Structure 1
Amino acid sequence: MKWPVIIERQTEPEALTLDWANLPFGRVFSRHCALARYDAAQWEAPTIRPMQELALHPGTSALHYGQAIFEGLKAYRRRDGTRLVFRLRDHYERLNRSARRLVMPKVPWELFQELVLALLRIEEPLFPPDLSHAVYVRPLLFATDPWLGVRPSDTYLLVIYLTPVGSYYEGPVRAYVETEMSRAAPGGTGSIKMAGNYAAALLSGQKAKAHHCQVSLWLDAVERQWVEEYSTMNAFFVFRGPVIVTPSLERGTILPGITRDTLLYLARRRGWTVEERDLAIEEVVQGIAEGRLLEAFGTGTAATIMPVQAFWYQGKLWELPPEAPYAQMLRADYYSLLDGTLPAPPEWITLL
């Protein structure tokens, strides 16, 4: 089904000048946003309109009971001017997995695709000159019933907007190993992009900052020994070999990252040994002490690939060598996928 989009453009758009060298992450927004409402068990005609604040009733269900999910994907411009969206379908599928877990309506593929691509075409001036920056696409779906009562909403709003971005972190990060609080438990919502998951991580983030760390490293909620993920990224570790280790998704407590999946593809393409398995925090620190753990890094749509140079654990800073050659090789391969010099599965690249 093709979804005709009602488009209302800014009547007098302001000239857009972006300082790409000093662009703050997530602070500059598109001049338009896309909206689609769900009511009476069906999606209404979608619109693209000038960016403006949303009018919400104080009883809006999502504000009280947390029926709110989101996605984050990126669009790029190659040096030859070609514009593309990376792994659009995979982000769409993950959005709907999140929706199913929170008893929210499925977003039709044709609706999602049409809104994302139409908005990106309208906001062409947001595209950077090359792959060093990107246009971050933020779809948000939340419950809108004005209702005090715990039940699934009957109405929902899908909002999509854009923000031009550079690096999420300024450089390699340190990780604070969280041993007191938990991010997710088996059977919970750790494997979806639910808004509340990130709010629950903020207090640990303050603890990390107090120890001069930029991220938290979460352990499992049951035994508090198994590595799960960073507060903003999936976790990877490089042992001698090289052997690339990342925590398994089997417990259902880790977000199945799209960038994580891409990096697994690239590591296997290089012929490296890849293990998706349980990894104890003690194996990490022992690996550092014995020189078997060569490097660590995190992956995510916002951060892309970010080396982790040290872990604060049990009152001690466990430091890795400052160089991160394996992360850098994978990062180079990642951008080669984007610029087309490295073959990617065809469904990963959507050209505009």
Structure 2
Amino acid sequence: MPVRPLPRPAPRTVFVTGANGYIGSAVCRSFARAGYRVYGMIRRASSAPSLWRVEATPVQGSFDDASWVDTLISTASTFDVLVNCVESFPDYEAHYEKVIMVMLRLARASNDKGVRPLLLWTSGCKDYGLGSVRADGSVPLHTEETVEDPPTEAIRQRAQTSRRIYEHADVLDGVLLRPTSVYGYSSSYYATLMDYADDQRGSGAHVLPLPVDPETPMHALHVDDCAEAYVALAEHGDRSAVADQTFNISSYRYETAREIGEALAKGYGFRDGVVFPPVDEAGDQFPASVAFTFGFPQWVASEKIRNLTGWRDRRALFTEDIDTYRRSYEAEKARGHENIDLARDRLAKIGTMEVGRE
């Protein structure tokens, strides 16, 4: 006689900061699909529907007034995973202090109930610095062992400060994540590339001018693949293999500026394709945001997370399905997606900081 199965254990719980942001919203979606109970922090009540749509519970609060944390603890009780997907420039360090205090309060409350959270902290591969093409044509590969060489003061502060998550091993297990650039949907920094191509086409140009080195390596992955990497680490059975580690998150290969330029020219209908004039001929008509996105060469290894968890990127590269990504971006732009303006503002703050070294 068939026996009715017993109820499953209660779902695990994850708390995500920056939950309505570009990576944060994708992380919420991925954890919800994996069966987690998801709580996502937002600053404005108007952002709540974006979380409810992916079946995540919005938590409205501010890092300047963390009185909401007690209410969250009384609601959720324990947190198996804590994810930070928010940052602030130019004063990253001051912002870090506010965020980590919230994470520690949630961790200690979980400890009291016998749960030791995993903290996944988002930084970025720009911490490694530029991976410029060498004189012999080769491209340096950035691994987790690569010495950090941030190109701006803003990124230097992020790279140094984010490592402090490892100082709290008494209450949680810290993991530092360094994704490459990401695309898809509202498209983050890659939106500037599509906007530029669209503007050039609108001006009546028959050729797309890109005053960049066409061999520049541009490594990026789809934001959904990026978010799945967070879940893969949270789900890994051996916590000791994950804790106190740094993991890069990247697609299986990089694309070159030439590949991306050719794809943009084809996708936006430039009759005469793309040209790559000398960089010093860029002029004022080549936006700084586009120059920064094209001009940050990197090749980033992600074998560490692949070999440990089995994670891999599945979505098409940017050049492989640019028509779909373009139309998705245009749809998000038409409905006024807030992340588009946020990405532009963040790119301006990062790309215009003075270079700073210690």
After TM superposition, the score normalised by the length of structure 1 is 0.24
More strand by share: 1
After TM superposition, the score normalised by the length of structure 2 is 0.23
